[in-house]
């Protein structure tokens, strides 16, 4: 095995690590002046990294199967990169008000560390590497959630996140240990063949899965979501709800397809019920929320249920549509978070009722927010419509019509609460609306990118084709 093979299979990890180290050193040597350039530097480097890893390499493995690379992973990682990049664009105000100025370095460093952890989870071929990736993706995230030192809410959310995440990791590790006990190996390639209908193995499998479900926040593993989302700084919330959640969904999908093929029946049955409760509970709780961040937390729970509709199909089309769905979800959700950041950073207002009459003072921001809501609700002709249609087709193709019907009924419920936000902005009257404001250039750029994506991604048919070429089914 030459260094070249290692490099080609782990290209993205290596280049990301380089950036992390560079930023760490930059943080040390940059003076007061250099610090203010932190955001541009991080964005620039990360853009280069994204472009550098845009094109898939040959499938292969490194370190004796510890790392297994498949071209579809490049697409997945690119999606995560794009998400992170947009969040970096929106992150200017996380340091506002002199509270956290000196923490700039940590923010980028920690975020990228979690991203590296997700990379490792995605391309791992061994349970140990997988677990290292998982922990790397969780622990720094806990720090990020508690990033705002002066805020009690943030600290509370951080504690909640760390405790529950450690608990779920423990359960997952417990599952891994049993899997090791019954199969005698930790390599995915060995385990996938050795799995049988032995109850002990199935129990180990379930323990393992529940650890992952926690990350994707399927119901009933969702209870941490709303509190953590509400307490965390807004940019971290968007990172949690977009990048962290989608990486977990990707990992879940890849593992189920690649590793647990023998348990197809078991996990399909399990997912069937999980999907129903996830979508329904997520929607019902979202109906009553007043705080925009909590609202998006519950909406993202039900979105996870829709994502799982593609996973349950177990087909190539399923994988294609899941990737496409998340790609669209990323832009829609980040557009919403961009607007929330803009408004929160200036006015500290984060209730839906504060958005009343927003159109009269901030037409552009409300327009973006409206597109985001429409796209999340799956309204034509925006990208969210296409992605929902495709994910339903993936499930319908495998004959899950009942599930699709339950999902579409839920779409109506979700339409109601998404429309409530639109109603607040466009229809409701308000004597004291949010004053006209201009957000910073980076955030504006991020909103332009998201808006363009919401409008045009659905019309560009070749994207789905590109994804399908690399996807695999069971």
The C-alpha atoms of residue 348 and residue 158 are separated, in whole angstroms, by: 20
Of the two residues 182 and 379, which places its CB atom closer to other proteins in the complex? Answer: 379
Asked if residue 38 binds other proteins (CB under 8 A), the reply is no
Site for other proteins in 394-423 (CB under 8 A): 396-397, 401, 404-405, 408-409, 411-412, 415-416, 419, 422-423
Determine, following the binding rule CB under 8 A, whether residue 455 of this chain makes contact with other proteins: no
What is the nearest approach in angstroms of other proteins to the Cβ of residue 62?
A: 30
Contact call for residue 448 and other proteins (CB under 8 A):
no
CA 168 – CA 212 distance, rounded (Å): 8
| Burial bucket for residue 445 (CB in 10 Å: 0-12, 13-18, 19+) | middle
In this chain, which stretch among 53-61, 65-73, 379-387, 429-437 interacts with other proteins, using CB under 8 A? 379-387
- Say if residues 297 and 226 touch (Cβ distance below 8 Å): yes
* Shortest spacing between CB 165 and other proteins, in angstroms: 36
What residues between 266 and 325 interact with other proteins by CB under 8 A?
317, 320
Q: Does 234 bind other proteins (CB under 8 A)?
A: no
d(CA 68, CA 81): 20
3-state SS, 87-114, equals HHHCHHHHHHHHCCHHHHHHHHHHHHHH
Part in contact with other proteins (CB under 8 A); list of ranges 82-90, 93-101, 242-250, 393-401: 393-401
Q: Does 468 bind other proteins (CB under 8 A)?
A: yes
Q: Which is nearer to other proteins, 79 or 139 (CB)?
A: 79
Minimum distance of other proteins from residue 415's CB (angstroms) = 6
Which residue, 11 or 364, is less far from other proteins as judged by CB? 364
Total binding residues for other proteins by CB under 8 A? 32
How far is the C-alpha of 254 from the C-alpha of 66, rounded, in Å?
Answer: 15
Helices (H), ranges, 53-151: 71-89, 104-123, 127-145
Q: Which stretch binds other proteins (CB under 8 A): 25-33, 182-190, 305-313, 378-386?
A: 378-386
Supply the minimum distance, in Å, between the C-beta of residue 378 and other proteins.
9
* Separation of alpha carbons 286 and 292, rounded Å: 10
Shortest Cβ distance from residue 330 to other proteins (Å)? 19
Instruction: In angstroms, give the least distance from the CB of 357 to other proteins.
Output: 12
- The nearer residue to other proteins, 116 or 323, going by C-beta atoms, is 323
Of the candidate residues 174, 180, 187, 385, the single one contacting other proteins (CB under 8 A):
385
Q: Name which of 1 and 427 has its Cβ closer to other proteins.
A: 427
Nearer Cβ to other proteins (140/282): 282
Helix (H, G, I), strand (E, B) or coil at 187: strand
Distances (CA, A) of 129 to 78, 176, 185, 301: 21, 12, 13, 28
Closer residue to other proteins, CB minimum distance, 199 or 461: 461
Q: Is 389 one of the binding residues for other proteins (CB under 8 A)?
A: yes
The interface mask with other proteins, positions 356-375, x = CB under 8 A, is ------------------x-
Using CB under 8 A as the binding rule, whether residue 392 contacts other proteins is answered as yes
Find the DSSP H helices in 146-186: 152-183
H or E stretch including 366? helix 363-377
**Burial state string for 266-287 with b = 16 or more CB within 10 A and e = fewer than 16:** ebbebbeebbbebbbbbbebbe
Contact 324, 463 (CB under 8 A): yes
Contacting other proteins (CB under 8 A), which of 128, 287, 353, 465? 465
Q: Which one, 188 or 426, has the nearer CB to other proteins?
A: 426
Contact 225, 281 (CB under 8 A): no
Query: 17: Cβ–Cβ under 8 A, 6 or more apart, which residues?
Result: 116
Q: Is 220 helix (H, G, I), strand (E, B) or coil?
A: coil
Q: Is 378 helix (H, G, I), strand (E, B) or coil?
A: coil
Rounded to whole angstroms, the Cα distance separating 54 from 383 reads: 22
Site string for other proteins, 427-446 (x = CB under 8 A): x-------------------
Contact status: 393 vs other proteins (CB under 8 A): yes
With respect to other proteins, which residue has the nearer C-beta, 210 or 410? Answer: 410
Measured distance CA(387)–CA(407) in Å, rounded:
14
Nearest distance from residue 382's CB to other proteins, in Å? 9
Give yes or no for a contact between 146 and 154, defined as CB atoms under 8 angstroms apart: yes
| Contacting positions for other proteins (CB under 8 A) | 317, 320, 374, 379-381, 385-386, 389-390, 392-393, 396-397, 401, 404-405, 408-409, 411-412, 415-416, 419, 422-423, 426-427, 461, 464-465, 468
């Amino acid at each position: 095995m030459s260094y070249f093979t290692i490099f080609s299979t782990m290209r993205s990890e290596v280049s990301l690590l380089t950036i992390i180290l560079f930023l760490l050193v930059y943080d040390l040597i940059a003076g007061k002046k250099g610090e203010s350039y932190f955001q541009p530097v991080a964005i620039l480097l990360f853009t280069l990294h994204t472009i550098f890893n845009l094109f898939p390499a040959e499938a292969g493995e490194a370190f004796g199967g510890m790392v297994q690379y498949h071209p579809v992973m490049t697409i997945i990682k690119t999606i995560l990169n794009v998400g992170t990049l947009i969040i970096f664009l929106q992150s200017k105000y996380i340091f506002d008000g002199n509270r956290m100025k000196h923490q700039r370095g940590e923010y980028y460093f920690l975020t990228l560390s979690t991203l590296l952890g997700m990379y490792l989870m995605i391309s791992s071929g061994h349970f140990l590497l997988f677990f290292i990736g998982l922990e790397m993706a969780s622990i720094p995230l806990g720090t990020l959630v508690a990033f705002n030192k002066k805020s009690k809410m943030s600290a509370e959310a951080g504690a909640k996140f760390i405790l529950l995440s450690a608990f779920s990791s423990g359960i997952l590790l417990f599952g891994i240990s049993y899997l090791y006990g019954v199969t005698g190996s930790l390599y995915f390639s060995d385990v996938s063949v050795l799995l049988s209908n032995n109850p002990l193995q199935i129990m180990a499998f379930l323990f393992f899965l529940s650890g992952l479900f926690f990350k994707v926040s399927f119901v009933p593993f969702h209870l941490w979501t709303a509190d953590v989302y509400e307490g965390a700084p807004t940019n971290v919330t968007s990172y949690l709800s977009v990048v962290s959640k989608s990486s977990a969904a990707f990992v879940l999908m890849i593992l189920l397809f690649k590793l647990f093929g023998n348990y197809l029946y078991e996990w399909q049955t399990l997912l069937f019920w999980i999907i129903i409760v996830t979508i329904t509970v997520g929607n019902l709780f979202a109906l009553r929320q007043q705080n925009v961040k909590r609202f998006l937390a519950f909406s993202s729970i039900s979105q996870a249920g829709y994502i799982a509709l593609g996973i349950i199909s177990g087909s190539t089309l399923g994988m294609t549509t899941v990737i496409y769905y998340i790609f669209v979800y990323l832009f829609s959700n980040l557009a919403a978070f961009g607007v929330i950041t803009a408004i929160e950073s200036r006015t500290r207002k984060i209730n839906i009722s504060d958005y009343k009459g927003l159109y009269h003072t901030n037409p552009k921001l409300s327009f973006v927010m409206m597109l985001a809501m429409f796209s999340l609700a799956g309204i034509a002709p925006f990208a969210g419509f296409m992605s929902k249609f495709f994910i339903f087709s993936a499930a319908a193709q495998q004959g899950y019509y009942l599930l699709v019907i339950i999902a579409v009924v839920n779409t109506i419920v979700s339409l109601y609460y998404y429309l409530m936000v639109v109603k607040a902005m466009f229809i409701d009257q308000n004597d004291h609306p949010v004053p006209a404001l201009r957000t910073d250039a980076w955030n504006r750029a991020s909103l332009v990118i998201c808006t363009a994506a919401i409008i045009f991604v659905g019309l560009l048919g070749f994207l789905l084709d590109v994804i399908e070429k690399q996807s695999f089914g069971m």
